[in-house]
Each structure stands twice: as C-alpha cells, then as structure tokens.
C-alpha cells in the first residue's frame, strides 16, 4: 500500500517509523514532514490546510491510506473531504472531532451519558459567567470552547483570577473573542492520559502516559505542548485502566454512534485520577505529542493493520501486543520556547546519541540544510525540535538512557528539562 502521513512533528516521525516498518507498506510519504521523517518517508512540501491540494497529491501518488496526525485538519474536516474523494483516511470526521473542537459539546455528551467529569456550566456572556463564579467560589476552572493550542484553560485559584480569565477570553485574549466558555469545578488528584483506538463501534486500549506541560524543571514556568512523557503511567493500574474503558471511553464511543457520528481514530482522554476514581478532563481526537512517541516505542505489533481495522470497523477481536517495558521521551526545545525562539541553529551528534542502547530519536522540528558542499546539516526549525526516547525495564533505566543520549547531542541553541519522569520515579522508589 502507498501511505501518506499528514503532519510535521515528533508524533508524525514516530508514526512514520512504525508504518515504514510494516510489511504492508510499499511506499510511505509524509506532508510536509521534517528532516528526521525524511529518513523514513518521502516528504512532500504541502500546506495540509489546503484539502484540495492534499487530495491532488493523493491522486498523483496513488495513495491508498492517509494517516492524519494533528487536530486542526481533523476539526476542519480533512477526513470527510478525503473520503468524499474516494481516499481512505484514518481519523475522526469533522462531526466526531468536536470531542476536541468543542469543550461544551463534550461536557454535554458526558452529562447525558453519565460519564464522570467535573460539574460545569456553559456561558455565552461575561456577566452571567462572573455571577456564577462569584456564587460558586474558587478554585474554579475557566475554558474557552474551541481549539486554543493549549492556551484555552485557566485554573483560577481566586474569584478575581477567574473573572479576569472570563474577560480575557470574551475580550479576544486568545486571538478571536471566545463565542462560548465552559466553567467547571476544579478536580483534585493525579493527571494521566489514556489512549484508545476506536472503529466507530468499539475501542481497544493503546495504553497510558503522563506528560510534563511546564517548560522548566519542577513543573515551573509557562505551559508548553509537552516537554517529555513516559508510558505507562504508574497511577494507571489495571483496575483504573478498566474503569476508564468501561466508564469513559466505551460510553463515549457508543454515545457518538447513537448520535450518528461514529468515532473512528485515536481517542486521547485527559484524566484526573481522583479519590472517587477516574474523571474526564478533556478529549483529544488524535495521538498526543510527545505521548505518541513513547506509545510507539512500546508497541510490538505492526501499527498499520490496527489503523486499517479501525478505519474499516474491524477492531472487535483485534489484538495488539506491547513490550512490557517503560518508555520515556525528553523533548529538546529551542532556547526561548515557548516564547520567541530562533530557527536555524546547528544540531550535531545525533548519530552518536542514537547509538545509545534502547534509544530512538524522533525529530519534531528540524530541517536539512544542503547548502554546504561538504554534506547536509541538521538545523533546528521549530520550538520543540527533538524527542530523545528510550525503552527499558523501568522508568529509571529509560530515563538514564534518554539523558545519556541527550548528553551526546551538541546543540547550544537548545535546552531540555532534566527531571522528566520524576513522578513515576517517586513511585518506583
């Protein structure tokens, strides 16, 4: 089969690495890709927001199956448009992608189906929202309804902070003025992520992970797309995993099917593991980045038949095999990220780093510079630039391997956290 992956981050590099290894893959393409993905696939320069251009490339390259990485094209209906053009595509359609695209939609779905989540109310205007906050008290959580690149949530410790967040969101502080916000109770517990592969009717677990959203060690500093992750999450015991499937994931899949919007693709549940059990914080409708990288390192089975089975509604009785090991990834980012950063700094030592036992390096934002006569160089080309991943028997050993590899990379223009995995290590000790 000819496969096209859409996206350009570490998630897509990890997917390309697995899909390139499948005996079902004849030719692998990725659009737009990056310098690391180019080692696994032919990269096609393409604006993936231009669905007509994506369809034209699929026809030209005789693509049999498209795998969509990021949420923006899913929420914009790329799967609907590809399927309408007769091209098979992995991921939810626009309707089902509302699980990520609209927090209000997801909260209402949870309420109607008794799926455990924080109590909430939806607001279209600032003044009733502020009345609610004043009546309710703090801590309280204020969320913009639509996609906000991870910036649409404010966990407010005081009523004043919550009021300021309401004004900020309705006042256009997230780019455009929010047309609706959700205000919900603050959940207390340990956060974890859970992934399931869904075929519209049923779902199979893909495992759990924990990420590190803040930019600096000790979970300090501003939020990022994720500075590292590991899988599995120790807080996700077999009992908790089963409860998440039975109480959250499967009821969601059944509810969407009953609404006429069957969900096919990866359902990524952001969870709070509270004293009363797992509660849903939010859904994403895709693999996490960098969580995908650690899941792919642990997946023993061929990924491609599983994605095809999800697309074809054939997941019932489908089985995936996993290494019993832990996997951990350290994200290396350009100096200044998540604020302003420079592109184009030179990265060296990657081959040396990749030679560390159990290590796999995925590129998140790199570009190949062929301008010099004496060979190509890898340059940084984004905020998050490299995912240095390792698999081992324990999180501690995976962490040791990953940082051994990090220390072989010569990149003065970049930095990383040095404490990825701390929560799991506390439990291992």
Residues that bind ligand GLY (CB under 6 A): 211, 225-226, 284, 288-289, 291
Choosing from 1, 24, 76, 153, the residue that interacts with ligand AMP (CB under 6 A) is 153
Q: How far is the CB of 341 from ligand AMP (least distance, A)?
A: 22
* Residue whose C-alpha is closest to residue 106's, from 310, 266, 274, 256: 256
Given ligand AMP, ligand GLY, none, residue 187, with its beta carbon under 5 to 8 Å by kind, binds ligand AMP
Choosing from 21, 176, 186, 376, the residue that interacts with ligand AMP (CB under 6 A) is 186
Q: How far is the CB of 121 from ligand AMP (least distance, A)?
A: 13
42 binds ligand AMP (CB under 6 A): no
32 binds ligand AMP (CB under 6 A): no
25 and 3 in contact (C-beta within 8 Å)? yes
For residue 33, what are the β-bridge partners? none
Contacts of 285 (CB under 8 A, 6+ apart): 71, 74, 75, 91, 92, 96, 97, 99, 100, 101, 263, 265, 266, 267, 268
219 binds ligand AMP (CB under 6 A): no
Q: Which tokens hold the place of 181?
A: 């916000």
236 binds ligand AMP (CB under 6 A): no
Strands 88-90 and 65-68: parallel
Rounded CA separation 2/136 (Å): 55
64 binds ligand AMP (CB under 6 A): no
Q: Which sign, positive or negative, has the C-alpha torsion 267, 273, 278, 280?
A: negative
Distance from CA of residue 426 to its chain's centroid? Answer: 25
* Residue whose C-alpha is closest to residue 365's, from 335, 338, 336, 334: 334
Please identify, using beta-carbon distances, which residue of 221 and 270 lies nearer to ligand AMP: 270
Q: How far is the CB of 229 from ligand AMP (least distance, A)?
A: 13
Rounded CA separation 397/419 (Å): 13
Given ligand AMP, ligand GLY, none, residue 281, with its beta carbon under 5 to 8 Å by kind, binds ligand AMP
Q: What does the per-residue mask of binding to ligand AMP show for 101-140, with x meaning CB under 6 A?
A: -----------------x----------------------
By the 10 Å C-beta count (0-12 exposed, 13-18 middle, 19+ buried), 429 is classed as exposed
Q: How far is the CB of 137 from ligand AMP (least distance, A)?
A: 14
71 binds ligand AMP (CB under 6 A): no
* Residue whose C-alpha is closest to residue 270's, from 289, 283, 285: 283
85 binds ligand AMP (CB under 6 A): no
Residue 398 φ/ψ, nearest 5 degrees: -65, -40
Q: How far is the CB of 310 from ligand AMP (least distance, A)?
A: 24
282 binds ligand AMP (CB under 6 A): yes
Binding region for ligand AMP (CB under 6 A) out of 9-17, 182-190, 257-265, 331-339: 182-190
Interface positions with ligand AMP (CB under 6 A):
118, 141, 153, 155, 184, 186-187, 191, 270, 281-282
């Amino acid at each position: 089969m000819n496969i096209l992956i859409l996206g350009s981050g570490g998630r897509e590099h990890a997917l390309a690495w697995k899909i390139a290894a499948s005996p079902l893959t004849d030719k692998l393409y990725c659009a737009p890709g990056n310098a690391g993905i180019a080692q696994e696939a032919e990269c096609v320069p393409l604006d993936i927001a231009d669905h007509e251009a994506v369809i034209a490339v699929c026809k030209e390259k005789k693509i049999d199956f498209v795998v969509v990485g990021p949420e923006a094209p899913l929420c914009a209906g790329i799967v609907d448009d590809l399927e309408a053009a007769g091209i098979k595509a992995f991921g939810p359609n626009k309707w089902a992608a509302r699980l990520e695209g609209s927090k209000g939609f997801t909260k209402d779905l949870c309420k109607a189906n008794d799926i455990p989540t924080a109590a909430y109310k939806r607001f279209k205007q600032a003044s009733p929202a502020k009345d609610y906050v004043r009546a309710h008290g703090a801590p309280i959580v204020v969320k913009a309804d639509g996609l906000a690149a991870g910036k649409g949530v404010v966990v407010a410790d005081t009523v004043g902070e919550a009021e300021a967040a309401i004004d900020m969101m309705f006042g256009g502080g997230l780019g455009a003025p929010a047309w609706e916000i959700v205000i919900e109770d603050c959940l207390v517990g340990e956060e974890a992520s859970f992934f399931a592969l869904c075929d519209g009717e049923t779902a199979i677990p893909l495992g759990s992970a924990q990420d590190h959203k803040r930019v600096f060690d000790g979970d300090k500093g501003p939020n990022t797309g994720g500075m590292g992750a590991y899988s599995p999450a120790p807080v996700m015991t077999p009992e908790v995993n089963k409860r998440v499937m039975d109480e959250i994931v499967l009821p969601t899949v059944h509810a969407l099917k009953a609404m006429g919007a069957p969900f096919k693709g990866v359902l990524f549940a952001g969870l709070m593991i509270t004293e009363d059990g797992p509660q849903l914080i939010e859904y994403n409708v895709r693999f996490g980045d960098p969580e995908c990288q650690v899941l792919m390192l642990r997946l023993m089975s061929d990924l491609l038949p599983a994605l095809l089975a999800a697309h074809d509604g054939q997941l019932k009785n489908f089985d995936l095999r996993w290494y019993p090991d832990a996997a951990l990834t350290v994200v290396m980012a350009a100096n200044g990220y998540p604020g302003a950063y420079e592109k184009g700094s030179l990265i060296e030592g990657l081959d040396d780093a990749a030679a560390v036992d159990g290590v796999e390096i995925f590129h998140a934002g790199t570009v190949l510079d062929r301008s010099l006569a004496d060979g190509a160089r890898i340059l940084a080309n984004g905020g998050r630039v490299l995912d240095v991943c390792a698999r081992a028997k324990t999180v501690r050993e995976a962490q040791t391997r990953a940082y051994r590899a990090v220390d072989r990379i010569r990149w003065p223009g970049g930095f990383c956290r040095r404490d990825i995995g701390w929560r799991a290590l506390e439990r291992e000790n």
